[in-house]
A and B are shown apart, each in its own frame.
Chain A
Amino acid sequence: MSSGTTRGLSDSLTQERIVLALSVALFAAFGLFAPGFLTASNTLSLIQNVAILGLLGIGMSVTIIGRGIDLSIVAIMAISVAWSLSLFESGMGVAPAILLGFAFALLIGVINGVLIAYVEIPAIFTTLAMGTVVYGFGQYFLVPIDVTYVNESIGWIHQIGAGRTLGIPNSVISLAVIAALGFFALRSTIFGRYLYAMGDNPASARVAGVPTRPLIVAKYVLSALVAFVAGVVMAMSVDSMNTRIVNSTIVYDVILVAVIGGISLSGGKGGILNVLVGTLLIGILLNGMTILNMPYTAQNIVKGLILLFAIVADSIFNPRDEQTSQQGDI
């Protein structure tokens, strides 16, 4: 989304392009120095390893573009899918078990949306609290144990996250399908147009006749459902779902892949391509450093430095102006 200014430099050097250039540079560097990096199968595996991050990033960016945030996305993913799996484990059929988990995610999305849109609690507080509520409720009532195992007896749904189709890992295909749906929804539907309008300026969007409250509910429902899909892909790809992931820092990684790709936290800017570029950068980094067998702690330093560099580059090429610096009340 171009901001419409006529400054040539900042138009051609959007954050998305900077990050893409950085990714290409890293890709080339690892290709030169990390033996075995530059093969088709490694490239696919590189994308596969960040497919979950990419999926969650897509859900997250829908909320961010509409000027919000969903910090409960990881809790929704873990608990709804773990509940489905434990229902299946206790003898329920696959379809009803999956449907119940899906309905749970949907319900949490609706509650998030209603609290934010109608009760007017800021999104950051609502979803922060909701994440804790969902995790606590899930641990106490729905999922008896941290790790719920699953195996191929679960049937066709196993294929969503495991196995390959025409040589491409199915989790990558799942990411591509959700990305395409997201791309279509944001670019070519009224929902998408309204979402950008609302993210850019909620007050004027409302005056112009955009139904902002239902729209807010819709975007949290959407992010909850994407979270459920991401959870299914994750569970099927490692044959288990560990609800302890809620305690990890993955939600920051999710926000980072969105923000690093150029989706502005103040809303109204960016799209699916930005998420994919951000995800790709993280994927290349992780894969290359593992191939170079860098120690774990050193990997964290490099990851942090590269992210910092990308943010600094963005603030140089896209300086904050009077308008954007006042936006930030997510």
Chain B
Amino acid sequence: MRWSSFLKVAVAVAALAAPVAGAVAAEFDDGQINVTRDTLKGKRVGFVPISMGFDLPQVWYEGLRRDAERYGYEIVTRDANWNVQAGAQAINQLIGEQVDVLIVHPLEMQAYAKLIDKANAAGIPVIQINLKSLNTGDAYVGANWHSIFVQTGEEILKRCGKDAGGNGKVALVQGVLTTPGSQIGRQALADFFAEHPDLSIVADQAADWDATKAKAVASTILKQNPDLCGFIGFWEVQDMGIAAAIKEAGLQGKVALVTSGGGEQKSACDNVANGNFTVNVSYDARGQARDLGTVVTTLLQNKPQTPGSHPIGVYSHNKVITADNVNAGVCWSLDDVKKYGP
């Protein structure tokens, strides 16, 4: 190739490449994106889940992670590992580190209440995810436990009430009694049962969110009440034990089991499809992950002047999963969320 034509080609390539290079250097300014990026870049978001070992915190984390990568903020995760003291210590430490937003997932209604006020007083906005202390901080993102359990009651009514030809005998298996979801849920059910006298609670026990304990309790209840119409469980993970007890007694399909959870494919839909659960009322943790990400970016860009003064609530939709809709994409899988986002 002669020098002159080489130069021509080189000039042409450079001319073609120039606008592309320019586009990389400066993103089209729509009047907001640069401000958003600049504000979010380098921010630190503290996240204190009950434990990173189960599907809910994992999907929430995924929701945050994708935003963190896009906008350049940092997530500082401190796992409480089912221990209130460890969680409180983590929160205190994150307050000391002056994170820009603090996300907490409280195991009890009271334990973190003062710490949330403390964080607010230190100028840190606080979000509570899916479980809530009595005070809110700046935002609550998660299930409306009252409506989840009213829905649970309605599903049991459809199967055990007088209109359904059932005898109305229902057994409750609660989790850890001090967990916000359990407390609010038990109250919601008490109200619901008071309104529907054709339903009666023949047993009311707790199983500490432990499937083995739930199985022991449920099998005893079944022996004691051979004509039981249905169980209401308080969390799908624990309620696998109730399902096992029903199956072992040869009563699958005869005794209803209504439970609730985050709507993950394996724990919710697969277990409805194989008959372990009759109904699973999902609070759609995948949707919560997206809500959480939105609230975090909102609070980071629009920091409240007095954190804690104007709390907001973002309550998730309930999705009722039954054998009829189990294959209609009502559940989500963690692998998909990791690949494609919440």
Do A and B originate from a single complex? Answer: yes
Q: Which residues of chain B come closer than 8 Å to A234, judged between CB atoms?
A: 212
Complex interface residues of chain A between 274 and 304 (CB less than 8 A to chain B): 286-287, 290-291, 293, 295-297
Q: List A residues 127-177 near B (Cβ within 8 Å).
A: 139, 145-147, 149, 151, 162-164, 169
User: With the chains together, A297 CA to B219 CA distance in Å?
Assistant: 20
Inter-chain contact B241/A36, CB cutoff 8 Å: no
A247 in contact with B223 given A49-B216, A145-B58, A293-B204 (CB within 8 Å): no
Query: Is B81 in the interface zone, CB < 8 Å from A?
Result: yes
Q: Judge if B243 is at the interface, Cβ distance under 8 Å.
A: yes
Contacting pair B248 A169 (CB below 8 A): yes
CB distance from B22 to the nearest CB of A (A): 44
CA distance A287 to B82 in the complex (A): 27
> In angstroms, how far is the closest chain B Cβ from the Cβ of A321?
39
A145-B55, A296-B177 are contacts. A49–B82 as well, Cβ < 8 Å? no
Would B220 and A49 count as touching, CB distance under 8 A?
yes
A45 nearest in chain B by CB position: B219
* Chain-B contact segment, one of A13-21, A186-194, A238-246: A238-246
Known A145-B53, A147-B267, A296-B177; contact A238-B211, beta-carbon cutoff 8 A: yes
Question: Chain A residues near B58 (CB, 8 Å)?
Answer: 145
Q: Are A237 and B83 closer than 8 Å at their CB atoms?
A: no
Complex Cα spacing A107 to B244, Å:
32
Q: Are A146 and B54 in contact (CB under 8 A)?
A: yes
CB contact between B53 and one of A46, A48, A244 (< 8 Å): that residue: A244
Task: State the Cβ distance, A79 to closest chain B Cβ, in Å.
Answer: 12
- Determine the chain A residues whose CB is within 8 A of the CB of B214 once the complex forms: 238
Q: A151-B274, A238-B212 are in contact. Are A48 and B55 (CB under 8 A)?
A: no
Judge whether A110 is part of the interface by a CB distance below 8 angstroms: no
Is A237 touching B210 in the complex (CB atoms < 8 A)?
Answer: no
The interface size bin for chain A is: 35 or more
Given known contacts A238-B241, A243-B53, is B211 in contact with A296 (CB within 8 Å)?
no
Q: Are B206 and A296 in contact (CB under 8 A)?
A: yes
CA–CA, A39 and B55, complex, Å: 41
Tell me whether A41 is interfacial, beta carbon within 8 Å.
Answer: yes
A38 CB to closest chain B CB (Å) equals 11
Which residues of B155-211 are within 8 A (CB) of A?
174, 177, 202-206, 208-211
List the B side residues contacting A293 at CB < 8 Å.
202-205
**Chain B residues within 8 Å of A146, by CB:** 51, 53-54, 237
Is A326 engaged at the interface, CB distance under 8 Å to the other chain?
no
Q: How far is the CA of A56 from the CA of B224 in the complex (A)?
A: 28
Query: Would you call B223 and A42 a contact (CB within 8 A)?
Result: yes
Indicate if A55 sits at the interface (CB-CB under 8 A). Answer: no
- Knowing A42-B220, A239-B240, A296-B206, say if A139 contacts B248 (CB, 8 Å): no
Residue picked from A240, A247, A295, most chain B C-beta under 10 Å: A240
Chain A residues with Cβ under 8 A from B206's Cβ? 296
Minimum distance in angstroms from B332 CB to a CB of chain A: 15
Chain B residues, CB < 8 A from A3: none
Contact of B205 among A39, A247, A290 (CB under 8 A): A290
Would you call B223 and A240 a contact (CB within 8 A)?
no
Which of the residues A35, A244, A291, A296 comes within 8 Å of B220, measured between beta carbons? Answer: A291
Contacts of A243 in B (CB 8 A): 53
Q: Is there an interface contact between A238 and B220, defined as CB atoms closer than 8 Å?
A: no
Question: Known contacts A151-B274, A247-B83: does B53 contact A287 (CB below 8 Å)?
Answer: no
Q: Which residues of B contact A41 (CB under 8 A)?
A: 223
A186 to B215, CA, bound (A): 32
CA distance A147 to B82 in the complex (A): 14
Return 21 A-B CB contacts under 8 Å, by A number.
A36-B223, A36-B224, A42-B223, A42-B224, A45-B219, A49-B220, A50-B216, A146-B53, A146-B237, A163-B248, A238-B214, A238-B240, A240-B240, A245-B212, A247-B82, A290-B220, A291-B223, A291-B224, A296-B177, A296-B205, A297-B177
Taking A145-B54, A146-B237, A162-B248 as known contacts, 10 extra A-B pairs with beta carbons closer than 8 A to each other, sorted by chain A number, are A42-B223, A45-B220, A49-B216, A149-B240, A238-B215, A238-B241, A239-B276, A240-B237, A296-B177, A296-B205
* Leading 3 A-B pairs by shortest Cβ distance: A146-B53, A49-B216, A296-B206
